[in-house]
Amino acid sequence: MRGRFITLEGGEGTGKSTQARHLAAWLRARGHTVVETREPGGSSGAEALRAVLVDAPVDGWDAVGEALLLSAARRDHLRHVIWPALRRGDWVVCDRFADSTLAYQGHGHGLAPETLEVLYELVAGPFGPDLTLVLDLDPNVGLMRARARGAVTRFEALDIAFHARVRLGFLDIAGHEPERCTVIAADGDEDTVTARTIKAVQARIEAWSADEGMLTGRVS
């Protein structure tokens, strides 16, 4: 099977980074070569922009500025990490991608989705994830988890109304693209959420295998 691009999305404290690691390990155990990456970041240029974005004061950037920085970082990430990996036939597991921009800068901060669509088209064209796992959790619980880790990021410092809009944004994206997105309840312990995540990916892999078998005349 060719390499696939899988993204994990969700609000603060939903456990995306942890589940991305578990998923990558599970895929490797199945014999796949896996590139683990993240946004913003993932490449040297994008990591530099991540620092500029994340380490700024809460009011350091408005929605437009954030979207422009994220778009520049995404372009570097795609050119230097994601696209080369997929061309090699590797699988890519990414902690956040463009859905986070739409949820945070769009639904959260009110930037017009049409503006974000133009930026994404410029950066990535028709390219997109094969599968997106949206980890869903009450933002009050998520923020408690995130803040318990220690230092609070500029996004975690925003009010609960913002995070509620972000959550609804992710659910809206998933509702409009059910063929790409699967919502995973993130309210259990780590092992429970991992089991839910792996089950969803396993089901999608079986569907991909069946589709590829039909295209090549094989029955898997």
- 136 in Cβ contact with 186 (< 8 Å): yes
Q: What mean pLDDT is predicted for residues 15-35?
A: 97
Domain that holds residue 117: 5-216
Q: Give CA–CA dist 3/84, Å, rounded.
A: 11
Tally of domains within the chain = 1
The CATH number for 146's domain is 3.40.50.300
> If pLDDT is split at 50, 70 and 90, which confidence band does 153 have?
confident
Instruction: Convert the pLDDT of each residue in 94-152 to its tens digit.
Output: 999 999 999 999 999 999 999 999 999 999 999 999 999 999 999 999 999 998 887 78
Strand 131-136 relative to strand 181-185: parallel, antiparallel, unpaired? parallel
What are the beta bridge partners of residue 38?
A: 95
- 174 in Cβ contact with 102 (< 8 Å): no
Q: Annotated binding residues, as ranges?
A: 10-17
Helical residues (DSSP H) of the chain, grouped into ranges = 16-29, 44-54, 63-77, 83-88, 98-101, 113-124, 139-148, 160-176, 190-216
Instruction: Convert the pLDDT of each residue in 197-215 to its tens digit.
Output: 999 999 999 999 888 765 4
Q: Give CA–CA dist 90/143, Å, rounded.
A: 34
Predicted local confidence at residue 215, as pLDDT: 46
DSSP state for residue 94 in the 8-state scheme: E
Q: Give CA–CA dist 18/184, Å, rounded.
A: 14
pTM of the predicted structure, to 2 decimals: 0.94
Residue 216, pLDDT > 60, answer no
Instruction: Convert the pLDDT of each residue in 35-94 to its tens digit.
Output: 999 999 999 999 999 999 988 888 889 999 999 999 999 999 999 999 999 999 999 999
Q: Annotated binding residues for ATP, as ranges?
A: 10-17
**Tokens read off for 34:** 């896996």
